[in-house]
Amino acid sequence: MVKVGIVGVGTVGVSVAQILKENADVISARAGRDIVVKSGVVKNLSKDRGVDITLTDNVDDILNDDEIEIVVELMGGVDEPYEVVTKALKSGKAVVTANKALLAYHRYELQELAKDIAFEYEASVAGGIPIINALRNGLSANHIESIMGIMNGTCNYMLTKMSNEGVAYDVILKEAQDLGYAEADPTFDVGGYDAAHKLLILASIAYGIDAKPEDILIEGIENISQDDIAFAKEFGYAIKLLGIAKKDGNEVELRVHAALVPQDEMIAKIDGVMNGISVVGDKVGETLYYGAGAGGDATASAVVANIVDIVRGGKSTPMLGFDRPMEAGTLTLKDSADIESKYYLRVNVSDKAGVLARITKIFEEHNISVQTMLQRPADGSSANLLISTHNAKESDIQAMIQTLQELDFVQSKPAMIRIV
Amino acid sequence: MVKVGIVGVGTVGVSVAQILKENADVISARAGRDIVVKSGVVKNLSKDRGVDITLTDNVDDILNDDEIEIVVELMGGVDEPYEVVTKALKSGKAVVTANKALLAYHRYELQELAKDIAFEYEASVAGGIPIINALRNGLSANHIESIMGIMNGTCNYMLTKMSNEGVAYDVILKEAQDLGYAEADPTFDVGGYDAAHKLLILASIAYGIDAKPEDILIEGIENISQDDIAFAKEFGYAIKLLGIAKKDGNEVELRVHAALVPQDEMIAKIDGVMNGISVVGDKVGETLYYGAGAGGDATASAVVANIVDIVRGGKSTPMLGFDRPMEAGTLTLKDSADIESKYYLRVNVSDKAGVLARITKIFEEHNISVQTMLQRPADGSSANLLISTHNAKESDIQAMIQTLQELDFVQSKPAMIRIV
């Protein structure tokens, strides 16, 4: 019998305990041994968790318990869990975590600490979808050309609703909060930070790239308007918040932002709270993984799968999937300013003579080539220019937006969405 | 350095050798050791394979070579490869195969033989998609409620073309043959047998169910007509050849057939030669895996991933994913006659008075409840009745089709497609 300790018995922790009990028949058949939760650590002992495990408020009760072979870390945060898992690994206990923030900041130190002991984290990216497993094991024969994914269910829910029902951003955010899909302070989700943490984890497995959230381009969905949705529909796009990792020569670009995706791409067809991640390998081509990216049971499904794998085989795969530097350690992070993309811009201008000529001139001066341009009447005497570009450089676009914004006939900061 | 021997150096074997060479940088970083193909076995030594490995026509050269740690079986067929992999396992060599037929007939014997040594077969189902990995490892916390997948690219290509371009079955079959998607004798693909082999493998991992192809319901796409496609479109369905495994109490139903799938299901959105497999777990909900199901490089991607996993960890997961009987060994195969489904029927009848009344009476007599009925003029003085039913039993539907077929005003055997 294998004994597990859970540090942090919230929604996911309760689900882990319940799954290990309710599905014990298949789990023990698959693992070859019975697995039970011996104890759980909580901050508040008086709160009823509705689950039948021994609780303590002292993490040392688990860390010093020789019977416990596997520590499941579900505390959230960065510093405290880092301390806990470090102690667990040093005392020879395997660790399973669902903590993406911990990994976004400490995955390379943890890979070092976990050289000879299992440290698993399937649930940290895309909840119940076994994407870590797929990328680290299933696609190991490939140079990964790109990863492109819907990694945040809250944003996808909101964008899907805005698109299907024509509802404004603020209205749908309120609804998502009422449904429990978005937090009271929604910044972590709608600002793209949650997706960025997940992207960094995947990029380490694919490329061995070391970067922190503050090193990469992160934008959220706060400025998406119904004008943009209308443009997207008219030109055959869906709007999705994407995490993108892409190899270009010896550089890897990492970015999180809303994007216009052609409607016939599989990733454009993923709606509502679901997650989906497309991975292109040089040999396998595109593969895509779809499922629930959040929720207690879905997340716990991944945590328990990690426990089963540890019980089956101990340590088999290196934590981040590589033992020697990937591609001889030649890959570096591309400067965000150098990222190239097609862009869509929405510029609200005074509706008077000469404006179009001035705008197109400015595009030319910034080396940006226009692909389509559409003028739509807006409020009062203004018009919206909806413009898509050919491939352009991030720094050129940003400089141009700055220039446009300073013109007297441009009414507000131009909105921009990248096209993939 | 790990040395590999390949038995059967055809398209996939050549790709395996090329990938191990071309992608050696990432592969050795991930595996922690260098991996090289030492030799390959072919029937015809005089044929140029375009790949730089030592060839022999004697399989014993590999089986008796102590330097070779991993044997890759890519021969095709059942009996001969079974003999080869048995010898390899008994001599302590790990085995990787892409051979679905071998597994459809011998997976339980192989699981016994491979108790203490790795036997991997990711490429046997859905080519480059790591579905074995997902089901055996990523979803191990779940009771699997169902598996439903597009497991044959040839059929999906043909059905997509028939639907998008209104082309007849025979025309599109010829085209698929010209493109190399279908064999000169296409029965194995279009008859559903290829998908059935794959389904049996997945069902063993999910349920521990032992069955052979001849034990389960297998139908192909040969009778799908443009009338059926038109009906599907009108009522919001796509037509797909599906492999389905579904748990119902202590029974598991296994079946391969064309099916009408609601257009908003993810599986309905998978077009062309691509494969996609949807798995529903009791905890994780639906997850879906999409990618190239065939082709040398995609298949070899999975073979090489298996090799990397073996080099990393030797044997960790039981071959079929379980060590003890699944669900205490209580699961049994459901009799095909007892499978329940909704059905769509196309009945070509003489266009005369009283026919509709007779037909509906016969439905009633067979306990089959009609959901929608549509009458369309057909050639000459006949009409097509397009009927969808509520849930009904396979044996009742088959008996009713028999009855209908014997009526003087029914012009040909009624066509039937199940609805999922």
For A122-150, the DSSP string reads GGGTTTTS-HHHIIIIITTTS-EEEEEEE
In this prediction, residue B364 carries a pLDDT of: 95
pLDDT at B388 over 90: yes
In B, minimum Cα distance to A309 occurs at B137
In this prediction, residue A313 carries a pLDDT of: 86
Read off the pLDDT band of B153 (50, 70, 90): very high
Judge whether B226 is closer than 8 Å to chain A, CB to CB: no
Read off the pLDDT band of B45 (50, 70, 90): very high
pLDDT at B183 over 90: no
pLDDT at A316 over 90: no
Read off the pLDDT band of A351 (50, 70, 90): confident
Same CATH fold, B338-419 and B2-128+296-327? no
Distance, in Å, from the CA atom of A149 to the CA atom of A293, rounded to the nearest integer, reads 11
Task: Say if the Cβ atoms of A291 and B287 lie within 8 Å.
Answer: yes
Read off the pLDDT band of B182 (50, 70, 90): confident
B21: buried, middle or exposed (CB in 10 Å: 19+, 13-18, 0-12)? Answer: middle
Active-site position among A93, A100, A161, A198: A198
Distance, in Å, from the CA atom of B294 to the CA atom of B308, rounded to the nearest integer, reads 20
Chain A, residues 319-338, CB within 8 A of chain B, namely 321-328
Read off the pLDDT band of A317 (50, 70, 90): very high
In this prediction, residue A154 carries a pLDDT of: 95
Best of A26, A164, A286, A323 to mutate (most B CBs within 10 Å, chain B) = A26
Task: Say if the Cβ atoms of A302 and B138 lie within 8 Å.
Answer: yes
Check: pTM over 0.90? Answer yes or no: yes
Other CB atoms within 10 A of residue A339 CB:
21
Residue matched to tokens 């206990």: A93
Chain A, residues 123-162, CB within 8 A of chain B, namely 128-130, 133-134, 137-143
Distance, in Å, from the CA atom of A268 to the CA atom of A231, rounded to the nearest integer, reads 15
Distance, in Å, from the CA atom of A297 to the CA atom of B211, rounded to the nearest integer, reads 31
Model confidence over A165-209: pLDDT tens digits? Answer: 999 999 999 999 998 888 889 999 999 999 999 999 999 999 999
Task: Say if the Cβ atoms of A138 and B133 lie within 8 Å.
Answer: yes
In this prediction, residue A315 carries a pLDDT of: 84
- For A2-128+296-327, the fitting CATH number among 3.90.920.20, 3.40.50.720, 1.10.10.10, 3.50.50.60 is 3.40.50.720
CATH superfamily of B338-419: ACT domain (3.30.70.260)
In this prediction, residue B362 carries a pLDDT of: 96
Q: Which of A122, A314, A325 sits opposite B29 (nearest CB)?
A: A325
Task: Say if the Cβ atoms of B130 and A208 lie within 8 Å.
Answer: no
Task: Say if the Cβ atoms of B300 and A141 lie within 8 Å.
Answer: yes
The residue with greater pLDDT, B180 or B204, is B204
Chain A, residues 186-215, CB within 8 A of chain B, namely 208
Distance, in Å, from the CA atom of B347 to the CA atom of B376, rounded to the nearest integer, reads 10
For B91-126, the DSSP string reads TT-EEEE--HHHHHHHHHHHHHHTSSS-EE-GGGTT
Partners of B139 on chain A (C-beta within 8 Å) are 130, 301, 305
Single-letter residue type at B126: A
Partners of B329 on chain A (C-beta within 8 Å) are none
pLDDT at B1 over 90: yes
The mean pLDDT value of chain B amounts to: 95
In A, minimum Cα distance to B275 occurs at A287
The highest-level CATH class for domain B139-292 is: alpha beta
Measured between alpha carbons, how far is residue B265 from residues A127, B189, B420 in Å? 21, 24, 10
Q: Which of A287, A288, A298 sits opposite B285 (nearest CB)?
A: A298
Judge whether A405 is closer than 8 Å to chain B, CB to CB: no
Judge whether B25 is closer than 8 Å to chain A, CB to CB: yes
Query: Quick one: average pLDDT of B71-83?
Result: 97
Q: What share of chain A is helix, strand, coil (3-state, %, to 5)?
A: 40, 25, 35
Task: Say if the Cβ atoms of B141 and A309 lie within 8 Å.
Answer: no
In this prediction, residue A288 carries a pLDDT of: 98
Q: Which of A19, A133, A142 sits opposite B283 (nearest CB)?
A: A19
Percent of chain B exceeding pLDDT 70 equals 100
Distance from the B103 Cα atom to the nearest Cα atom in chain A, whole angstroms? 19
In A, minimum Cα distance to B309 occurs at A137
pLDDT at A279 over 90: yes
Distance, in Å, from the CA atom of B106 to the CA atom of A138, rounded to the nearest integer, reads 24
Partners of A328 on chain B (C-beta within 8 Å) are 25
The count of CB pairs under 8 A between chains A and B is: 240
Pull the structure tokens for residue A354: 């000469």
Partners of A283 on chain B (C-beta within 8 Å) are 15, 19, 23, 128, 297-298, 300-301, 304
Partners of A128 on chain B (C-beta within 8 Å) are 281, 283-285, 287
Partners of A238 on chain B (C-beta within 8 Å) are none
In B, minimum Cα distance to A317 occurs at B312
In this prediction, residue B4 carries a pLDDT of: 98
Model confidence over A302-315: pLDDT tens digits? Answer: 999 999 999 998 88
Task: Say if the Cβ atoms of B141 and A327 lie within 8 Å.
Answer: no
Range of A379-388, B155-164, B375-384 with top mean pLDDT: B155-164
Read off the pLDDT band of A380 (50, 70, 90): confident
Model confidence over B251-261: pLDDT tens digits? Answer: 999 999 999 99
Measured between alpha carbons, how far is residue B301 from residues A49, A107, B9, B106 in Å? 45, 27, 15, 24
Model confidence over A408-419: pLDDT tens digits? Answer: 999 989 999 999
Model confidence over A34-44: pLDDT tens digits? Answer: 999 999 999 99
Phi-psi region of B251 (alpha: psi -120 to 50; beta: other; left: phi over 0): beta
Judge whether A19 is closer than 8 Å to chain B, CB to CB: yes
Distance, in Å, from the CA atom of B270 to the CA atom of A276, rounded to the nearest integer, reads 14
The highest-level CATH class for domain A139-291 is: alpha beta
Distance, in Å, from the CA atom of A326 to the CA atom of A331, rounded to the nearest integer, reads 8
Measured between alpha carbons, how far is residue B298 from residues B31, B104, B274 in Å? 19, 21, 11
pLDDT at B316 over 90: no
Report the SS3 class of residue A252: strand
| Secondary structure letter of residue A9 according to DSSP | -
Judge whether B254 is closer than 8 Å to chain A, CB to CB: no
Phi-psi region of A92 (alpha: psi -120 to 50; beta: other; left: phi over 0): left
Distance, in Å, from the CA atom of A95 to the CA atom of A85, rounded to the nearest integer, reads 7
Partners of A273 on chain B (C-beta within 8 Å) are none
The answer to whether residues A8 and A75 touch, using CB atoms and an 8 Å cutoff, is yes
Please state the ipTM of this predicted complex: 0.96
Partners of A295 on chain B (C-beta within 8 Å) are 285
Distance, in Å, from the CA atom of B128 to the CA atom of B150, rounded to the nearest integer, reads 14
Judge whether A94 is closer than 8 Å to chain B, CB to CB: no
Partners of A281 on chain B (C-beta within 8 Å) are 128, 301
Domain coordinates in residue numbering, chain B: 2-128+296-327, 139-292, 338-419
In this prediction, residue A181 carries a pLDDT of: 86
Model confidence over A145-163: pLDDT tens digits? Answer: 999 999 999 999 999 999 9
Other CB atoms within 10 A of residue B406 CB:
8
Pull the structure tokens for residue A358: 């001035």
Q: Which of A283, A292, A318 sits opposite B284 (nearest CB)?
A: A292
In A, minimum Cα distance to B123 occurs at A138
Sign of the dihedral through C-alpha B202, B207, B208, B210: negative
Q: Which of A283, A292, A303 sits opposite B285 (nearest CB)?
A: A292
pLDDT at B146 over 90: yes
